[in-house]
């Protein structure tokens, strides 16, 4: 199934004054080239911010790349300060992983039928 066109979404965020911090796929076009080409020489545990804003889906944004110790590359389009954005994205990723674990990966929180916060907190 093809992915929806991201241009309207990025344009909407800009019009609403919302500063995005969105993970990019390696083949996403930034400044007319695939984003992976901007960061192809990243070393493990390296963090690099592209030296100028690039057009990402019709909107000028900053782009950063980092590679973790396992060799996985993270590419982000954002507005703001790179180090701060990376810290915020790290927190978001932790929340997403916790949510995934609680819903499906063994814990199956929804199967408990609990709806009251104080009872759920007892489980955690």
Residues 91 and 60 in one domain: no
Residues 96 and 74 in one domain: no
pTM over 0.95: no
Exposed / middle / buried, residue 76 (Cβ in 10 Å: 0-12, 13-18, 19+): buried
Residues 3 and 33 in one domain: yes
Report whether pLDDT(35) > 90.
Answer: yes
Question: Domain count of the chain?
Answer: 2
Q: What percent of the chain has a predicted confidence (pLDDT) above 70?
A: 89
pLDDT of residue 124: 65
Range of the domain at 97: 81-124
Residues 38 and 3 in one domain: yes
Residues 117 and 86 in one domain: yes
Residues 71 and 98 in one domain: no
Residues 10 and 31 in one domain: yes
CA distance 118 to 124: 10
Residues 8 and 29 in one domain: yes
Residues 101 and 66 in one domain: no
- pLDDT, tens digit, for every residue of 38-92? 999 999 988 899 989 999 999 999 999 999 888 889 999 999 888 888 888 889 8
């Amino acid at each position: 199934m093809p992915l929806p066109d991201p241009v309207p979404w990025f344009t909407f965020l800009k019009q609403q004054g919302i500063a995005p911090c969105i993970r990019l796929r390696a083949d996403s076009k930034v400044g007319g080239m695939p984003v992976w080409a901007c960061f192809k020489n990243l070393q493990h545990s390296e963090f690099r911010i592209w030296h100028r804003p690039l057009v990402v889906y019709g909107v000028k944004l900053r782009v950063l790349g980092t590679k973790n110790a396992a060799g996985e590359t993270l590419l982000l389009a954002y507005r703001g300060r790179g180090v701060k954005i990376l810290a915020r994205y790290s927190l978001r990723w932790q929340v997403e992983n916790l949510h995934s674990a609680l819903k499906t990966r063994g814990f199956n929180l929804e199967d408990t039928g609990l709806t009251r916060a104080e009872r759920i907190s007892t489980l955690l």
